[in-house]
Amino acid sequence: MTTLLPRLVPAIGLAMVLSQATQAQTPRTDCAGLSALRIGAASITLPTGGAEVTSATPVADAHGGNCRVIGAIRPVDASAPSILFQANLPANWNGKALQFGGGGYNGRIPNTTGLEMHGLTGSPTPLARGFLTFGGDSGHQAESADDASFALNAEALHNFGYQHIRKTLDAVRQIALAHYGEAPRRVYFNGGSTGGREGLTAAIRWPDAYDGIISWYPVSSYMGLRLWGALLARAVYEDGSAGWIPPAMVERIQRESIARCDGLDGVADGLVSNPDACRRGSAAALEALRCRAGETGHPTHCLTDAQVARTMRVYHRGYTLPFAFANGARDYLGYNSLEGIAMQLGSQPGLLSPPRSGPNAHHVDRAYQFFRYFVNGGRDFDIRQLDVTAPGPVRERILEISGLFDATATDLSRFAARGGRIIWLHGHDDPSVSPLENRRNVQAIVARMGQAETDRFLRYFEIPGLAHGGGRFSPQWESLAALDAWVESGTPPDHAVITDGTRSETRGRTRPLCRFPTWPRYRGSGDPNLAASYICAAE
């Protein structure tokens, strides 16, 4: 029959018949049958020991049900952990897939059945809308996202840095082929913080595999942030913790910064919408907080010279190095610590051994974990003795990690050329990842690729009041729908409105999502809780 096909079918119908024949020859595995699926190493782009489905369970829901698949991607090194992942295969599949990113040092599978990051409450989940959703634990298992001990294994380190992203996608593609008879025709990624870095990494390293990225407050300058945490340790905890600022004073600095700069957007709404203008008055504001002659430091009275010269300087201004990271940068730009953020300096002055986030400054804990396990072979050390401006023999290791982890590449032309799109967002109030760093990274892309080419594939937004996951304005937005529309129809998200999901009296207020360098400025009339009362203004 096959040999007679060209004579029996008109040329215009030949492709359709062959396609139907191919689909008919592709066996489709039901949900229960997926539990026996084994995926060969050759089907995964990067080296692995292959993958397997460990369970496949039908899940009934109001949208026709789905198949929850749990799987494991085996390592090459028998002593390395597997990558554990979950995929949710909807009955009403739309042919598209959404990968969820992780957080911190990962170690757990993210929630892959809920809304996308900062999704709009009450809207259908991606899974309910027909997206195949999935995510992995980044290649190790841990109770705490602060635990970096996995990095003692080289394969686990590389998996966490970037490889787990593509390995998990490849395994899930094979599962989709087995279940639906075809691979996803669109693949999107969404995540925040570490997950935001993973999304940018996907676009940078595998531009042909991903169609769209939603990246919230990404740790794009990964190495810069970890060195900043080590410098913060010295600033805060040297000389008997002379630089430590008590929580009451941290709260006062935030409160007075907001009061000083709230009205710069034309309305007193509790948000600093124009932090650049606010920053121009920060030096005078800091000087007003300094202890005068005869005064002594007090939890809410004044800031000592050590607190100003050490801690406030590092937090607000960052640092400069005598050597460059893999991306060419030599510095980390600091935070809006005099423009409204709540600094994360811990609840007690004493440095625990080892440091612990909460009692101690959050970034000191993260930096200690990093240098102990990524750099120091698991050996304990006193982070106050580490001078990252003169790291000596560990400098090459720092540069190696920068090359593996930093998501700061400026040439995304391959991703843009095939129609890829990036929605990149950051909050002014973020005390964990510097919005100034991500702003600089976007500006570097523009400098490399040009404004017109960058506009074709990337939108960058800064959001007043957003901290790191929450804040005084916790935005909700149907970002996946916006990304999908941009990819499919070329409509960029240029006039979006975001809703405040904060659990307070401000819940439900709206603002325009303003593309950097613009910010929401009150028109002078109208309900200040409605986006229509604001314009996206530039200074």
Cβ atoms of 459 and 493 closer than 8 Å: yes
299 upstream amide cis, omega within 30 of 0: no
Q: Check if 468 is active-site.
A: yes
Pairing verdict, β 96-100 and 186-192: parallel
| Phi, psi (deg, nearest 5) at residue 130 | 100, 5
Cβ atoms of 523 and 534 closer than 8 Å: yes
Q: Which of 137, 140, 158, 193 is catalytic?
A: 193
* Contacts of 4 by beta carbon, 8 Å cutoff, 6+ apart: none
- As a whole number of angstroms, the distance between CA 406 and CA 220 comes to 6
- As a whole number of angstroms, the distance between CA 206 and CA 188 comes to 12
One-letter amino acid identity for 64?
Answer: G
Give Dmax (Cα) for the chain: 102
Pairing verdict, β 66-73 and 51-59: antiparallel
Q: Which of 82, 316, 468, 474 is catalytic?
A: 468
- Report how far Cα 249 is from the mean position of its chain's Cα atoms: 30
Instruction: Name 189's bridge partners.
Output: 99, 213
Q: Check if 429 is active-site.
A: no
Q: Which of 137, 146, 170, 430 is catalytic?
A: 430
Structural tokens at position 399: 């540069």
- As a whole number of angstroms, the distance between CA 44 and CA 233 comes to 41
- As a whole number of angstroms, the distance between CA 28 and CA 25 comes to 9
* Contacts of 451 by beta carbon, 8 Å cutoff, 6+ apart: none
Catalytic residues: 193, 430, 468
